[in-house]
Amino acid sequence: MNSKNPSILYIFGFGRSKLINSEEVYPNDFFYGYFDVKDKYKKTSFIEFESGIKNNFFNKVLTIFSKILRKLTKLSFFFENICTYKNFKILMRSDKVVLTNDRIGLSVLPMLVFIKLIKRSESTVIVMGLLAKQTNTLKSHMLQRLFLIIFFKTVTNFMFLSKGEFQQAEVSYMKYKHKFHFTPFCIDTHFWSQKREKRNRNQILFVGNDGRRDYKLVVKIAENLPQYDFIFITSNITLEQIKSKNVKLFKGHWNKQILSDHEMKDIYAKSSLSIIPIHNSYQPSGQSVALQSMSMGVPVAITHTDGFWDKELFSNSDNIFFVERNIVSLWTQSIIHIMSDLKLQKKISLEAAKTIDRHYKSDLFSIKLFNILEI
């Protein structure tokens, strides 16, 4: 390994190459320090998940094996999207590997195990929700723990984006705590900056596609608040599910880029409130939308879940609005209270923006990643 000029490989999920190879201006939120690392280490490259990998016998076997392991362990194995001979050779030539989520880390695990037997290499996995995969039988629980121990033993470092999950990992897998680092998810505050546009005082925004969002509740909230205009940006709500006339639906998904980041930015700029109802779980959810909203000067109302990413930095009615439970009446009362108090909205917006600037700028993430890569 060349310690002064190591070859660093990033492994992304779907859709990154399209943006990297384009001339568009886009936020660096979901590139996890890639551009800063590339500036510092010239031998930095990337590969990404592929859905159209040649459907040969080997790939069919990987697909079946992934499905079996997902069912048995509840962990996100997708070997068929990344495990190819070509990618294995690229990994073999790399000194350090950055895997940008735990799904990718688990999917690359067989190659990492094999490479570790042959040569010295370092790997870092960015983690969000790894320990929140619930099992329903003792056998499933034991298998999940076995694979997690193999995962923790094989990978060099883990960057947890949620403080709660980081603390849980230190307790549940104490033997590997020296590999665990807490590094909050950060956003491109240069891109998600406040625009001097007049906000629609009646416009409420909901953005989200992950399985933790409470989509049924969002629809009911809009039905019960006909005096406000709602914008839904999601692929998990259909027009048929919306019964009220005060909702405008956009089918948005980051990987598919159905709605561009610039269009998203314009919608944020005109909204007066961003709502994020989430099912209770230890898995963090809604973080990127919340931080983008705050950076754009939009106050956020979110369910106060067990997995909220940092309860020390955020306080109800200080820099965020917490709704304790997903009950329609609680949500509608909270929204009416917020929307009717412009002074409160402004105060929360200012305090939230300060929190983002101090703790959640993408530059800070890159600095912490450099510290880990240089250990």
Q: In whole angstroms, what is the distance from residue 163 CA to residue 183 CA?
A: 8
DSSP-assigned states of every residue in 337-355: HHHT-HHHHHHHHHHHHHH
Q: How confident is the model at residue 375, as a pLDDT?
A: 66
Give all strands of the β-sheet with 229-233 in edge-to-edge order: 247-250, 229-233, 203-207, 273-276, 300-303, 321-323
Instruction: State the alpha helices, DSSP H only, in 211-341.
Output: 215-224, 261-270, 287-295, 328-339
Identical fold for domains 8-186+361-373 and 203-359, yes or no, is: yes
- pLDDT score of 196: 65
pLDDT at 107: 97
For the beta carbon of residue 371, count every other beta carbon within 10 angstroms. 11
User: Which CATH code for domain 203-359?
Assistant: 3.40.50.2000
Q: Which fold has domain 8-186+361-373?
A: Rossmann fold (3.40.50)
Residue 318, CA atoms < 13 Å, CB-side half-sphere? 8
Question: What is the structure's pLDDT at 310?
Answer: 87
- Cα separation, 332 vs 78, in Å, equals 40
**Phi and psi at residue 188, in whole multiples of 5°?**
-80, 90
Q: Domain spans of the chain?
A: 8-186+361-373, 203-359
3-state secondary structure 44-74: EEEEECCCCCCCCHHHHHHHHHHHHHHHHHC
* Number of Cβ atoms within 10 Å of the Cβ of 134: 12
Q: What pLDDT, on the 0 to 100 scale, is given for residue 252?
A: 59
Q: How many CB atoms lie within 10 A of CB 197?
A: 10
With beta carbons less than 8 A apart as the criterion, state whether 83 and 61 touch.
no
Q: What are the average pLDDT values for consecutive 10-residue runs of the chain, which has 375 residues?
A: 80 90 87 94 94 77 95 96 95 96 97 93 93 89 96 97 90 96 93 82 93 94 97 93 93 63 92 96 85 96 90 94 96 97 95 95 94 85
Nearest of 311, 356, 368 to residue 126 by alpha carbon: 368
Take residue 98 and report the two structure tokens written for it. Answer: 């950055």
State pTM to two decimals.
0.88
Rg (Cα) of the chain, in Å, rounded? 21
pLDDT value, residue 1: 56
pLDDT at position 22, please? 84
Q: What is the structure's pLDDT at 2?
A: 58
